[in-house]
Amino acid sequence: MSFIQKFAERVDTAAISATSIPQITQEQDFGVDEAYAIQAASIDRRVQRGDPIVGIKMGFTSRAKMVQMGVSDLIWGRLTRSMIVEDGGFTEMSRYIHPRAEPEIAFLLRKPLSGVVTPLQALDAVGGVACAIELIDSRYENFKFSLADVVADNASSSGFVVGTWREPGTDLSNIGMVMNVDGRPVGYGSSAAILGDPVRALVSAARVAGEAGLSLEPGMVVMAGAATAAIALEAGQHVRLEASGLGFCEFRIR
C-alpha cells in the first residue's frame, strides 16, 4: 500500500468514527500535491460507499488567513452527499470531533464549469445563490495542522447548510452577515472578506477543478469560503446565519 492510500484510509477512518488523529506529516513529510492526492483517494473511498460528490468548498479565501498559513493560493475540498445538513434541520454532535461553523455564500451551478474563466463566464454558469453555513471539523488532535495536513483532510470540511436559493443577479460583493447562536449574535462579517467578492472564489473553484481534472457539473454546489472566523459548536445549540438580501439559514446540533 502506498503512503497515499495509507493516509487516505487513516483520515477517512477518522472522519467516519469521529476520532482525532495525530498530524500525518509528523509521520511522513509530503507536499501539497501529495496532500491533494490523499484527499482525492480519501473521498474516493466515500464515493465507493455510495456517497457521491455534490460540489466543492473553498478555503483560505481570506488574505489574512493566507498570510497566516504562509501560502499564496487558497485551498479546496470536496463536498459529498452525506455532508448535507438540511436547512432548519438537525445534525448530531456524535458525527464530529470539535466542530465549528463558518458563514459563507454558496453557488448552485446550472452549467458545467471548469478551467480558466472570467467572472462573467463563472456567473453565467450559476443558477442560484444562497447564504450558507459550513461545518468544519479537523480530524487532527487539538485542531492543529500544517498546510499539507489540512489539504489531505479535505480542507477540514465536514458538513454544510444552504438557505433558500435566489436568483444570481444579487450583488454579492458586500453582503452583511450575522451569525447567531441560541438567538445571540456571536459573529459579524461581510462577504467582502471572501477574496473581496465571492465571485472570485467561484472563478478560483473553476480553476482548481480544472487543474484536478474535474468538471463542476449542473446541480453541484460551490461554497465560496468563510466571511468570519469559525465559531466553536456545542451540543444543544441552535445556529442561524442572517445575510442581507439573501435571507437566512439555520440548524441545530444535538
At residue 170, the pLDDT reads: 84
Cα(234)–Cα(181) distance, rounded to whole angstroms? 10
Verdict on whether the full-model pTM lies above 0.75: yes
- Residues of the chain with pLDDT > 70, as a percent, come to 96
Query: What mean pLDDT is reported for the chain?
Result: 94
Q: Which long-range contacts (CB under 8 A, 24 or more apart) does 12-19 make?
A: 12/42, 12/45, 12/46, 14/97, 14/139, 15/42, 15/139, 15/154, 15/158, 18/94, 18/95, 18/96, 18/97, 19/97, 19/139
Secondary structure element (H or E) that encloses residue 129, with its range: strand 126-136
pLDDT digits (tens, 9 = 90+) for 51-90: 999 999 999 887 656 655 566 578 999 999 999 999 999 9
Secondary element (H or E) of residue 104: strand 100-109
pLDDT digit string (tens) for 80-126?
Answer: 999 999 999 999 999 999 999 999 999 999 999 999 999 999 999 99
User: Which residue do the cell numbers 467561484 mark?
Assistant: 202
pLDDT in tens, 221-241: 999 999 988 999 999 999 999
CA distance 183 to 135: 19
In this prediction, residues 167-192 reach a mean pLDDT of 94
What secondary structure letter does DSSP report for 149? Answer: H
Report d(CA 47, CA 41) in Å as an integer.
Answer: 10
Q: DSSP letters of 158-227? A: EEEEE---B-TTS--TT-EEEEEETTEEEEEEEGGGTTTSHHHHHHHHHHHHHHTT--BPTT-EEEEEES
- For residues 159, 215, 155, 194, the Cα torsion angle rounded to the nearest 10 degrees is -90
pLDDT in tens, 193-205: 999 999 999 999 9
3-state secondary structure 218-244: CCCEEEEEECCCCEECCCCCEEEEEEC
- What pLDDT, on a 0 to 100 scale, did the predictor assign at position 62? 73
